[in-house]
Amino acid sequence: MPRPHRHATAYERHAPDPRLVSRSLAGSRLGAFWLDDVGARPAHDPLSGSTRADLTVVGGGYLGLWAAVHAKRRDPGRRVVLLESQTVGWAASGRNGGFCEASLTHGEDNGRSRWPEEYDVLERLGEANLDAFEADVRDLDLACEWERTGALSVAVEEHQVEWVRESAHFLDRAQVRAAIDSPLFLAGEREPATALVHPARLAAGLARAATDLGVEVHEHSAVTGVRREGGVVEVSTARATVTSDQVVLATGVFPGLLRRNRLMTVPVYDYVLVTEPLTADQRASIGWAGREGLGDLANQFHYARLTADDRILWGGYDAIYPAGGRMHVRHEDRPDSHARLASHLLATFPQLEGIRFTHRWAGAIDTSTRFAAFYGTTHGGRVAHAAGFTGLGVAATRWAAEVLLDLLAGRPTERTELRMVRERPLPFPPEPLASVGINLTRWSLDRADHRHGRRNAFLRALDRVGLGFDS
């Protein structure tokens, strides 16, 4: 039986001269643009002596920072201690694209397929969370370059046009190119419930708001263990112990402190580029007057946005699971992935020939089998945790922090009664099965993109058991 024909994608059909790609990356810095652009930040001393707290938060990314802020707003007299292993916001919270989306479920398709009976409630809660996020940006003076621009999802292949044709916010080819001018864009749809932020400035703003509220933040204070001792929980670092009534674990993609969660997430590396600031002529050549977030509809999708000083951030496509699931800084420098991204941007905007990239980097995403966060408690209800945001955590972490505080309070709320919150996803298999399955999935998704979107038997089997990726 002959093998199905492999069709070149739009990015391959319009690939620029490799020499242009090499020149565009020459001189780029390996490091996250956002972290370079955040400005001076106050340092927080390491935990140096044992102490007592009402609540200890482990992790200084978005989830931990929001949990600390919410806890102090709920009860200003509560003593809250936050422990971060390195510096506030240095990992995923300072490296993401800055897309702040209302969805709590990694998109409508994923939400409706997994929680159909409560999706309308989840959508309402997500939109309310985005509105509350915007209010917090104002009320807490988070200074994170908030822009409620909406987003644009574009079709770059003929078969993708049908996926959005029935959308209430459908744009035909002329309309989508009037918004953002690329010869690759065939159609699109607007997604109003999206804002953009400066990720590292958001983390810095939350840390400042937390300390203003009285949270005690300690950097370079890696937690080595969590154990229940009678009616309290001891959170240990190399230097000291915090004895707490309650604990929030917000460690994201990093190896969990709970054995039961060791197979619940895997790290997937996502790659990103940022250009030099566009000139006035370059900006005029692509339009983008609405400054929308941008993404395409492929399985291996790209995302893009403008920064405050009119650079283009361009990321996505390659999603790399490291061998054995072991995280290491060496995975952040992957020349093939960065060159592929540069080639795809130049194919998308040939009018930007000659543009240079100033920054290239990567970050590890905490991926779960349901592509949305999961929640739970341990240690007799005194320790709450959430993880598995799978790349859509900028807004969802704010909501998740409220969930964790609700769980610790022990009183049912609309949030805690959701099946999405009460149920755990399937774990990933142990190695080496995880590597085999994840890399086969990635290969199959790439194959679907080269076969007019047709999913093979393996992807269809994953779909049937609720493990299919459709983002």
- 63 belongs to a structural domain: yes
Q: Residue 427: which of 358, 466, 351, 369 has the closest Cα?
A: 369
Q: What is the pLDDT of residue 452?
A: 81
For the chain, residues with pLDDT lower than 50 are: 1-3, 470-471
Q: How many whole angstroms separate alpha carbon 355 and alpha carbon 342?
A: 10
User: Cβ distance 130 to 102 under 8 Å?
Assistant: yes
Q: Residue 428: which of 380, 362, 374 has the closest Cα?
A: 374
Among 365, 382, 408, the domain-final residue is 365
- 438 belongs to a structural domain: no
Among 422, 445, 463, the domain-final residue is 422
Asked whether residue 321 falls in the same domain as residue 375, the answer is no
User: Cβ distance 45 to 218 under 8 Å?
Assistant: yes
Asked whether residue 238 falls in the same domain as residue 282, the answer is no
Q: What is the pLDDT of residue 470?
A: 46
User: Which structural domain range is residue 283 located in?
Assistant: 10-37+147-192+267-365
Q: What is the pLDDT of residue 273?
A: 98
Asked whether residue 209 falls in the same domain as residue 325, the answer is no
229: CATH: 3.50.50.60
Asked whether residue 242 falls in the same domain as residue 346, the answer is no
349: CATH: 3.30.9.10
Among 365, 398, 432, the domain-final residue is 365
What values do phi and psi take at 329, rounded to 5? Answer: -60, -25
- 3 belongs to a structural domain: no
Q: For the chain, how many structural domains are there in total?
A: 2
Asked whether residue 73 falls in the same domain as residue 152, the answer is no
pTM score, two decimals?
0.95
- 294 belongs to a structural domain: yes
Asked whether residue 184 falls in the same domain as residue 215, the answer is no
Q: What is the pLDDT of residue 414?
A: 98
3-state SS, the chain, equals CCCCCCCCCHHHHCCCCHHHHHHHHCCCEECCHHHHHCCCCCCCCCCCCCEEEEEEEECCCHHHHHHHHHHHHHCCCCCEEEECCCCCCCCHHHHCCCEEECCCCCCHHHHHHHCHHHHHHHHHHHHHHHHHHHHHHHHCCCCCCCECCCEEEEECCHHHHHHHCCCCCEECHHHHHHHECCCCCCEEEEECCEEECCHHHHHHHHHHHHHHCCCEEECCCCEEEEEEECCEEEEEECCCEEEEEEEEECCCCCCCCCHHHCCCCEEEEEEEEEECCCCHHHHHHHECCCCCEEEECCCCCEEEEECCCCCEEEEEEEEECCHHHCCCHHHHCCHHHHHHHHHHHHHHCHHHCCCCEEEEEEEEEEECCCCCCEEEEECCCCEEEEECCCCCCCCHHHHHHHHHHHHHHCCCCCCCCCHHHHCCCCCCCCCCHHHHHHHHHHHHHHHHHCCCCCCCHHHHHHHHCCCCCCC
Contacts of 465 (CB under 8 A, 6+ apart): none
Asked whether residue 188 falls in the same domain as residue 289, the answer is yes
Q: Residue 59: which of 266, 207, 260 has the closest Cα?
A: 207
Q: In this structure, which long-range contacts are made by residues 456-464, counting pairs with CB atoms below 8 Å and at least 24 apart in sequence?
A: none
pLDDT tens digit sequence for 100-143? 999 999 999 999 999 999 999 999 999 999 999 999 999 999 99
Asked whether residue 351 falls in the same domain as residue 377, the answer is no
Q: Residue 332: which of 126, 32, 23 has the closest Cα?
A: 32
- 443 belongs to a structural domain: no
pLDDT tens digit sequence for 332-351? 999 999 999 999 999 999 99
Asked whether residue 86 falls in the same domain as residue 206, the answer is yes
Q: How many whole angstroms separate alpha carbon 369 and alpha carbon 359?
A: 31
Asked whether residue 245 falls in the same domain as residue 226, the answer is yes
Residue that has been written with the tokens 């780029």 in this structure? 28
Asked whether residue 83 falls in the same domain as residue 173, the answer is no
Asked whether residue 290 falls in the same domain as residue 358, the answer is yes
The strand pair at 223-229 and 232-237 is best described as: antiparallel
- 42 belongs to a structural domain: no
∠ CA 114-397-367, nearest 5°, is 55
Q: What is the pLDDT of residue 451?
A: 85
Q: What is the pLDDT of residue 462?
A: 80
DSSP bridge partners of 325: none
- 468 belongs to a structural domain: no
- 162 belongs to a structural domain: yes
